[in-house]
Copies of this chain bind each other. A is one copy, B any other.
Amino acid sequence: MPRFVVTPWEVKGKVDYEKLVKQFGTKLIDAALLKKLERYAGGLHMFLRRGIFFSHRDFDWILNMYEKGEKFYLYTGRGPSGYTHIGHLIPWIFTKHLQDVFDAELYFQMTDDEKFLFKRELSLKDATGFTYDNALDVIACGFDPRKTFIFSDVEYAKTLYRTAIQVAKHITFSTVKAVFGFTNENNIGTIFFPAIQAAPCFFPSVLKGKNIPCLIPAAIDQDPYWRPSRDVAPKLGFYKPAQLHCKFIPGLGEGGKMSASQPETCIFTTDKPEVAKRKIMNAFTGGRATIKEQREKGGNPEVCSVYQYYYFMFEEDDEKLEEIYRECKNGDRICGDCKKILAERVGRFLVDHQRKREKAKSVIQDFMLKD
């Protein structure tokens, strides 16, 4: 039995990321690559310093091309089957950072067709509705409206289908069975979908009439989707899409990634601060049974979901983060206080994000690509 499972539809168990890199055949982001990146960015983003973005395919090649004057575009996306939570924001925040550093265009895919096709109970109306709702969260991350193109697969199908059938002609059912574990009982929409997901690796090159390198920042579970794209790319005369992979932000429970299907351990971007606070106050921590015991023996930040939130998003200063870690270990930091401080920070973040989200409603049409 595998101790953990990572597929585009399921993440189970405690993920061993180093093992995953070997299993998927990707590369760890090494010191040389970080040094190179630091030069462009004038420093290293917190997500790189902390190994939250940790793995890649051909990112070194993308940087070499960039050095030679060939700009790349960014491609990432979201499966809109529900409301956005904080875990979804991690790759988007980093994508915004990459857009700023490299002055790159971003194509952002809303796979409402995928969610409709894979989720028995989800209606097409609800899936396309979530496309618009979730796009507000994307825009709230601060992307440049002149360089950011958000599209719904359903609404932008004309452009996508034309490229997708060219990809599809080179992918057999045997291949998608092997890569995605599809069976004969899969519906024929899900079987075709990998070609739709591949299309944004190529259609911007088609639209601009020249071959443009593509970089995909996304959580590591999405990696399989771009394996067929990478195989097909040279057959169609395009560059293979490069990738940057991040880890999953854990939920507020014991282990596992943050998931909308467990709303009590998941902070939605639309949660009121007091709702988020309640969830945080109920979070699983590395604390002891009693305050007395914790003062004596110290807590365990390694297994603590609250500490993970400081680590992923809510303490940008590395020294202060280390201080939190030390205080916890020493027994100087008590869970109740630690949770309250986090809840305040999360609350402030939510108020700010929700304000930007409201503002996004009036500009969303500037971001949406239409056929």
Using CB atoms and an 8 Å cutoff, list the residues of chain A in contact with chain B.
113, 116-117, 124, 154-158, 160-162, 164-166, 168-174, 176-177, 182-189, 191-192, 194-195, 371
Contacts and interface: CB of A to CB of B under 8 A. Distances in A.
B194 A371 contact: no
A194 B184 contact: no
A165 B195 contact: no
16 contacts: A113-B165, A117-B169, A124-B165, A155-B158, A157-B158, A157-B161, A158-B371, A161-B161, A164-B189, A169-B187, A170-B187, A172-B187, A172-B188, A173-B186, A177-B184, A191-B191
A195 B168 CA distance: 15
Nearest to A155: B158
Nearest to A228: B188
Contacts of A176: 188
A123 to B, nearest CB: 10
Given A157-B157, A168-B189, A176-B188, 18 more contacts: A116-B165, A116-B169, A124-B162, A124-B165, A124-B166, A157-B162, A158-B158, A164-B189, A168-B192, A169-B187, A171-B188, A172-B186, A172-B187, A172-B188, A173-B191, A174-B184, A188-B191, A371-B371
Copies per complex of this chain: 2
A127 to B, nearest CB: 10
A178 to B, nearest CB: 10
Given A154-B162, A195-B189, A184 B168 contact: no
A185 B172 contact: yes
Given A161-B157, A165-B117, A184 B192 contact: no
A171 to B, nearest CB: 5
A157 B163 CA distance: 11
Given A189-B192, A192-B189, A192-B191, A184 B172 contact: yes
Given A154-B161, A155-B158, A157-B158, A189 B172 contact: no
A251 to B, nearest CB: 30
A8 to B, nearest CB: 16
